[in-house]
């Protein structure tokens, strides 16, 4: 199956063609935003990049560089203050490995906000010219990586929307593509079932260790996840326990594909080994999506029982609800009404096919509702202290 996309220098394919402006730290966010706004680029405002250490520092670095490496990005401008922990040059060095155009500028070197913005606009305009010359070409679906998310869940998520995504995911993997199941907190209580789908015993143990580590971190902080999950919104929607929530969440992984590996947050999906993967990400929707996109996902499908407008700066996010009332209430945000299954108007298999067809249409250039409304939420998962 061939679809259309933008071929990158390293042989990957993007389904969007963004110029990305990355602030190396929170200190460079405003300047990065001003540059991006003037040239029609996308910026990544965040609160990190300075005084982080250890695994937390490496995770922020992996996330920022992962966004720059994502195939939906055709060129990158990194903006640094100059004295922060994550240096702009380090980000450039990593992104350059893809072969795509990447430049850097620092505020202290260029003498403040106004001069840096002016220089940044000049650099960005040249990068935009390069991007405008890139044309869509056919590529195999084996290059497509799908991120799967659920948020604001209710019982219809586990009964309808998540299983329907699972059908679409199975079909994508069968065609040679890749899918990522995320949100470690939302497999607690169902991890033993998912673990059976890891044929590689080393990867299976890695997955189980990730799940156990989340519970241990919560207990070390004096909290029990089984007391804080489901969330208030989940409970209002009708979910009673974390196990019930997890048993619904896991259906996004489908029924037929084996898990090839367990990835760290923002870790790249191995291009030479497409298939189904698990990513160790938090239950926060935006942070979880960010991790999968940093890992290479060019497209996200997002189920929501209660409704959410969430998007992503560089990746189209397709929204599906299994609740017909939610679709009626938030139709401007929801792309697919899975409530048709609840109402007996279509089968689960037909809904799965509709989701897959929507994925192909969006890959080929159709805008999602989140894109039309300008939703570009971005959040990096923190796992340590700042000093």
User: What phi and psi, each to the nearest 5 degrees, are found at residue 346?
Assistant: -160, 170
> What local confidence, expressed as pLDDT, does residue 241 receive?
59
Determine contact, residues 324/339, Cβ cutoff 8 Å.
yes
Task: Give the tens place of pLDDT for each residue, 91-145.
Answer: 999 999 999 999 999 999 999 999 999 999 999 999 999 999 999 999 999 999 9
Q: Is the pLDDT of residue 220 over 90?
A: no
Q: Report the pLDDT averaged over residues 204-227.
A: 85
d(CA 179, CA 186): 17
| Cβ(254)–Cβ(301) below 8 Å | no
Burial class of residue 332, CB neighbours in 10 A (0-12, 13-18, 19+):
exposed
What's the rounded Cα separation, in Å, for the pair 130 and 75?
8
CB 44 within 8 A of CB 22: yes
Mean pLDDT score of the chain: 93
Rounded CA separation 112/183 (Å): 40
Region 270-299: what's the mean pLDDT? 96
Are the C-beta atoms of 195 and 208 separated by less than 8 Å?
yes
Report which secondary-structure segment, H or E, holds 3.
strand 2-7
In this predicted structure, the answer to whether residue 289 has a pLDDT above a threshold of 70 is yes
Q: Which residues, 6+ apart, have CB-to-CB distance to 257 below 8 Å? A: 169, 170, 173, 174, 179, 197, 275, 276
Helices in 44-111 by DSSP H: which ranges? 54-69, 88-95, 107-110
pLDDT for 221 beyond 80: no
Quote the tokens at residue 137.
């070409």
pLDDT per residue as tens digits for the range 72-85: 999 999 999 999 99
More confident residue, 45 or 236: 45
Of residues 314, 306, 325, 297, the one with CA closest to residue 370:
314
Tell me, what's the pLDDT at 179? 98
What is the structure's pLDDT at 386?
A: 80
Would you say 101 and 127 are in contact if contact means Cβ atoms under 8 Å apart?
A: yes
pLDDT of residue 209: 97
Task: Taking residues 12-39, report their average pLDDT.
Answer: 98
Going 236 to 241 to 246 to 251, the CA torsion angle's sign is: negative
Give me the residue label for tokens 């700042």. Answer: 386
Domain residue spans in the chain? 18-133, 141-372
pLDDT band, residue 152 (cuts 50/70/90): confident
- Selected from 1.20.1250.20, 3.40.1400.10, 3.40.50.2300, 3.40.50.920, the CATH number assigned to the domain covering 18-133 reads 3.40.1400.10
C-alpha to C-alpha distance for 318 and 90, rounded to whole angstroms: 33
pLDDT at 219 over 80: yes
Cα separation, 90 vs 104, in Å, equals 10
For residue 32, the tally of other CB atoms under 10 A from its CB is 29
Q: Dihedral of CA 210/211/216/222: which sign?
A: positive
Q: Residue 148 in contact with residue 336, Cβ under 8 Å? A: no
253-279: average pLDDT: 96
Global confidence as pTM: 0.95
Residue 196 reports pLDDT greater than 80: yes
Yes or no: say if 257 and 276 are a contact pair by the CB < 8 Å rule: yes
Q: How far apart are CA 290 and CA 192, in angstroms?
A: 26
Backbone angles phi, psi at 299, to 5 degrees: -150, 140
Q: Is 262 helix (H, G, I), strand (E, B) or coil?
A: strand
% pLDDT > 90, the chain? 84
pLDDT at 236 over 70: no
**Nearest one of 349, 281, 285 to 311, comparing CA atoms:** 285
Which residue bears the tokens 């460079």?
A: 28
Contact partners, residue 35, CB within 8 Å, separation at least 6: 21, 41, 43, 77, 79, 117, 120, 121, 124
Query: Across residues 271-284, what is the average pLDDT?
Result: 95
**What is the structure's pLDDT at 242?**
58
Check if the beta carbon of residue 95 is closer than 8 Å to that of residue 68: yes
Is the pLDDT score of 360 beyond 70? yes
Report the candidate in 208, 158, 159 with the shortest Cα–Cα distance to residue 188. 208
Q: Encoding tokens for residue 173? A: 């993997």
pLDDT at res. 384: 87
Neighbouring C-beta atoms of residue 228, cutoff 10 Å? 13
């Amino acid at each position: 199956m061939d679809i259309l996309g933008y071929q990158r220098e390293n042989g990957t394919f993007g389904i969007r063609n963004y110029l990305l402006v990355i602030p190396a730290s929170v200190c460079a966010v405003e300047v990065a935003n001003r540059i991006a706004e003037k040239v029609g680029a996308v910026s990544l405002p965040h609160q990190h990049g300075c005084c982080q250490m250890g695994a937390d520092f490496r995770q922020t670095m992996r996330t920022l560089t992962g966004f720059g490496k994502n195939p939906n990005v055709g060129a990158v401008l990194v903006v640094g203050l100059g004295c922060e922990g994550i240096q702009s040059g380090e980000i450039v060095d990593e992104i350059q490995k893809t072969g795509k155009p990447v430049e850097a500028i620092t505020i202290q070197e260029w003498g403040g906000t106004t001069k840096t913005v002016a220089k940044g606009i000049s650099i960005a305009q040249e990068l935009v010219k390069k991007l405008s010359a890139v044309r869509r070409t056919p590529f195999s679906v084996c290059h497509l990586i799908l991120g799967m998310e659920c948020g604001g869940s209710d019982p219809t998520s586990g009964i309808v929307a998540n299983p329907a995504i699972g059908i679409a995911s199975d079909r994508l993997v069968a065609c040679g593509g890749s899918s990522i199941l995320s949100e470690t907190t939302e497999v607690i209580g169902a991890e033993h079932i998912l673990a059976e789908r890891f044929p590689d015993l080393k990867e299976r143990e890695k997955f189980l260790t990730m799940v156990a580590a989340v519970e241990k971190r919560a207990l070390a902080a004096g909290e029990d996840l089984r007391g804080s999950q489901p969330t208030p919104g989940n409970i209002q929607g009708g979910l009673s326990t974390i196990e019930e929530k997890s048993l619904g969440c896991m259906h996004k992984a489908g029924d037929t594909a084996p898990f090839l590996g367990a990835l760290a947050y923002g870790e790249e999906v191995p291009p030479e080994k497409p298939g189904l993967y698990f990513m160790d990400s938090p239950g926060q929707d935006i942070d979880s999506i960010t991790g999968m996109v940093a890992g290479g996902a060019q497209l996200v499908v997002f189920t929501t029982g209660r409704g959410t407008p969430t998007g992503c700066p560089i990746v189209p996010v397709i929204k599906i609800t299994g609740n017909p009332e939610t679709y009626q209430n938030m139709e401007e945000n929801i792309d697919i009404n899975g409530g048709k299954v609840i109402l007996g108007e279509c089968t689960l298999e037909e809904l799965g096919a509709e989701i897959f067809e929507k994925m192909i249409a969006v890959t080929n250039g159709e805008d999602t509702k989140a894109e039309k409304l300008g939703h570009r939420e971005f959040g990096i998962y923190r796992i340590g202290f700042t000093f």
